[in-house]
């Protein structure tokens, strides 16, 4: 029996339905009119209209990271497609599953420099995990299903499907998702048992072990995070997390040393530097984590668990490399783990050393100026939200690092931040995606006046959908991180890092129908945060902060983990005998 033929637009809707897609973030245009007409005719698939295509991708990322499901984007050809490039690159760097459907001019016009034509597959080839131009409507369903498969299997990432207008309007045959099998893409998920046994033996013999986990654990689903916690408890090992991994182990766990890396804690970085066995699960030895490679954990035997074979031995040569899904490998490691009482004393003295480093209280800061300190503001926020299930997004820069340091993430999928690409303007649209996915949840954007204004137009999206997002704006009048580097490494020559002419953010919030709040003095911070959280709609709270405040601890680019710069308000560190530089 011949199958009934559907239009490309109908196939598109059917494929999204069969993939379980509930929300699409997008922006219509000339060549996607037929798709939007099909969306108009139904009620099942929800479309969220952002105010810029880059924001649509970030919103889809926020949706994906807070739910574990792929985020879906629909944009038009030409500028619609090129505007997605930053978002797609962001999703690629942070391994976020996104399926982005771009309209394209009719196949007969491709290559003719037609109106709103861009070589979308050419432009996005290096910023996607995969992309595809559909030339035949009979391929459409298969290509869409493959896109979802590729985006969500193996190391997740963004996939673009470029859809010419005539293909959307033509009639073809629909096939379901169960028919999809990509012969050339079968990622390995189960780790090699022999290697896992060797790794566990190495761990059992460790005197100064550390577990260093990253976003791969979060991507492997909440079960993987639960297994990480079980492994940490079974072994009694200290554990540090990357920016992308925060929440994979509860921040309140006594084995948690805080974030590591350039702005990681004193104890996490020194434990990394002095460890003798390192278990890396789902992290990629990024340069912001390792610092100078020659001096990275010089005494450590290294075990690396990663689903992407190209992550292994890319930056750091490891002793045992296990390719597989973090959750499955952790499960096998727990099974293989046998406690060895003999090494308890060694572990005890390692913890004693770590507790000594912890006693430095590297995140303490002076708090006596006329302007509020950002650390203080975030500590007050943390105190207010500690008993609630909160989703936090950030932008990029100093406020991002302070959020990572002072907000405690107890669960995975609760922090949405641009890690690899460092995309200013990520936070606000990402929060849109998070709030759409979790309508009842408390969603907070921690941002700065620089980042916020990179996707400020999304205040209109928030207004349109009445999203009760809370925007905490730490306003220092500078590109803070640039200012910090100029202060420390460029002789305080603050070249083009000062913002002037910023708007009145309270009036701005009100213009978009949100509540605008403004604090002037440190003693107003508490009340303002309470007021912000109590309001049932969107809030933009502008808090001027001390512009001279820097993020510490800090490992300068190209330095080693034990060469940390600590904040100026630190107590005397001489007694540790560690190589510490004071700012």
Q: Which residues bind other proteins (CB under 8 A)?
A: 121-122, 125-126, 129-131, 133, 150, 182-185, 293, 308-310, 312-314, 317
Query: Based on CB atoms, which residue is closest to other proteins, 157 or 245?
Result: 157
**Structure token digits, residue 273:** 């530097």
Residue 43 CB partners (closer than 8 Å, separation 6+): none
Q: Which residues pair with 121 in a beta bridge?
A: none
Q: Which residues pair with 161 in a beta bridge?
A: 101, 132
Query: Based on CB atoms, which residue is closest to other proteins, 558 or 571?
Result: 558
Tell me the C-alpha to C-alpha distance, in Å, between residue 137 and each of 9, 42, 565. 10, 21, 59
Minimum distance from residue 109 beta carbon to other proteins (Å): 17
Does 262 qualify as catalytic in the annotation?
no
Buried b (16+ CB within 10 A) or exposed e, 340-365: eeebeeebeebbebbeebbebebbeb
Q: Which residues pair with 280 in a beta bridge?
A: 212, 304
User: What gap in Å lies between CA 153 and CA 44, rounded to an integer?
Assistant: 26
Residue pair 127/97 in contact by the 8 Å Cβ criterion: no
Does 116 qualify as catalytic in the annotation?
yes
**Of the residues 53, 229, 458, 570, which is catalytic?**
53
Query: Based on CB atoms, which residue is closest to other proteins, 307 or 555?
Result: 307
Query: Based on CB atoms, which residue is closest to other proteins, 126 or 548?
Result: 126
Query: Based on CB atoms, which residue is closest to other proteins, 108 or 182?
Result: 182
User: What gap in Å lies between CA 402 and CA 174, rounded to an integer?
Assistant: 50
Minimum distance from residue 184 beta carbon to other proteins (Å): 4
Minimum distance from residue 121 beta carbon to other proteins (Å): 6
Minimum distance from residue 125 beta carbon to other proteins (Å): 6
Side-chain-side CA neighbours of residue 252 (13 Å)? 5
Tell me the C-alpha to C-alpha distance, in Å, between residue 304 and each of 138, 238, 269. 43, 16, 18
Q: Closest Cα partner for 553 from 148, 136, 194, 270?
A: 270
Minimum distance from residue 134 beta carbon to other proteins (Å): 11
Query: Based on CB atoms, which residue is closest to other proteins, 96 or 437?
Result: 96
Buried b (16+ CB within 10 A) or exposed e, 451-476: bbbbbbbbbbbbbebebbbbbbbbbb
Query: Based on CB atoms, which residue is closest to other proteins, 112 or 313?
Result: 313
Q: Closest Cα partner for 202 from 271, 279, 257, 269?
A: 279
Query: Based on CB atoms, which residue is closest to other proteins, 43 or 310?
Result: 310
**Of the residues 5, 22, 69, 116, which is catalytic?**
116
- H or E element at residue 531: helix 525-534
Place of tokens 């970085």: 269
**Of the residues 165, 301, 302, 373, which is catalytic?**
165
Minimum distance from residue 285 beta carbon to other proteins (Å): 12
Quote the strand ranges of 165-314, DSSP E: 171-173, 209-213, 239-241, 256-259, 277-281, 301-306
Minimum distance from residue 284 beta carbon to other proteins (Å): 12
Does 481 qualify as catalytic in the annotation?
yes
**Of the residues 115, 299, 335, 386, which is catalytic?**
115
Minimum distance from residue 426 beta carbon to other proteins (Å): 23
Does 409 qualify as catalytic in the annotation?
no
Tell me the C-alpha to C-alpha distance, in Å, between residue 239 and each of 232, 254, 289, 335, 417. 7, 9, 14, 19, 21
The catalytic residue positions are: 53, 115-116, 165, 481
């Amino acid at each position: 029996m011949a199958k009934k033929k559907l239009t490309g637009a109908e196939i598109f809707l059917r494929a999204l339905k069969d993939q379980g897609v509930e929300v699409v973030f997008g922006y219509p245009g000339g060549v996607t009119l037929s798709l939007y007409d099909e969306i108009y005719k139904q009620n099942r698939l929800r479309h969220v209209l952002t105010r810029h295509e880059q924001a649509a991708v970030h919103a889809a990322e926020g949706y994906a990271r807070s739910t574990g499901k792929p985020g879906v984007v629909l944009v038009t050809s030409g500028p619609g497609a090129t505007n997605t490039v930053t978002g797609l690159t962001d999703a690629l760097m942070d391994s976020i599953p996104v399926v982005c459907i771009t309209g394209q001019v009719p196949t007969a016009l491709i290559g003719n420099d037609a109106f709103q034509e861009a070589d979308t597959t050419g432009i996005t080839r290096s910023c996607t995990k995969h992309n595809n131009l559909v030339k035949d409507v009979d391929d459409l369903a298969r290509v869409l299903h493959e896109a979802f498969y590729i985006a969500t299997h193996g190391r997740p990432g963004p996939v673009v499907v470029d859809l010419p207008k005539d293909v959307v309007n033509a009639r073809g045959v629909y096939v379901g998702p169960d028919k999809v099998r990509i012969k050339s893409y079968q990622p390995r998920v189960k780790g090699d048992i022999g290697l896992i046994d060797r790794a566990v033996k190495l761990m059992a013999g460790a005197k100064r072990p550390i577990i260093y986990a990253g976003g791969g654990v979060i991507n492997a689903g909440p079960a993987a995070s639960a297994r990480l916690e079980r492994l940490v408890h079974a072994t009694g090992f200290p554990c540090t997390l990357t920016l992308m991994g925060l929440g994979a182990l509860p921040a309140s766990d006594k084995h948690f040393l805080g974030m590591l890396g350039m702005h990681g804690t004193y104890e996490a970085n020194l434990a990394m530097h002095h460890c003798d066995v390192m278990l890396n699960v789902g992290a990629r030895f990024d340069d912001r984590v390792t610092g100078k490679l020659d001096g990275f954990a010089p005494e450590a035997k290294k075990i690396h668990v990663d689903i992407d074979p190209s992550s292994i031995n890319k930056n750091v040569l490891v002793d045992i490399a296990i390719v597989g899904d973090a959750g499955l490998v952790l499960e096998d490691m727990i099974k293989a783990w046998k406690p060895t009482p003999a090494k308890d004393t060694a572990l005890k003295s390692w913890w004693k050393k770590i507790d000594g480093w912890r006693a430095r209280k590297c995140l303490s800061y002076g708090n006596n100026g006329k302007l509020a300190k950002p650390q203080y503001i975030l500590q007050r926020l943390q105190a207010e939200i500690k008993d609630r299930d909160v989703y936090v997004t950030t932008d990029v820069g100093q406020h991002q690092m302070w959020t990572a340091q002072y907000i405690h993430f107890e669960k995975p999928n609760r922090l949405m931040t641009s890690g690899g690409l460092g995309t200013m303007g990520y936070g606000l649209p990402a929060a849109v995606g998070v709030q759409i996915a979790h309508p009842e949840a408390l969603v907070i954007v921690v941002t700065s006046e620089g980042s916020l204004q990179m996707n400020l137009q999304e205040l209109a999206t928030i207004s349109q959908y009445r999203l009760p997002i809370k925007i905490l704006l730490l306003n220092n009048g500078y590109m803070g991180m640039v200012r910090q580097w100029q202060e420390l490494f460029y002789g305080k020559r603050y070249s083009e890092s000062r913002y002037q002419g910023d708007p009145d953010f309270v009036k701005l919030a009100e213009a978009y129908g949100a509540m605008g709040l403004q604090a002037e003095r440190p003693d107003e911070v508490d009340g303002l945060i309470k007021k912000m959280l109590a309001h049932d709609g969107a809030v933009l709270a502008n808090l001027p902060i001390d512009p001279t405040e820097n993020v510490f601890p800090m490992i300068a680019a190209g330095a080693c983990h034990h060469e940390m710069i600590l904040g100026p308000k630190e107590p005397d560190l001489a007694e540790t005998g560690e190589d510490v530089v004071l700012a």
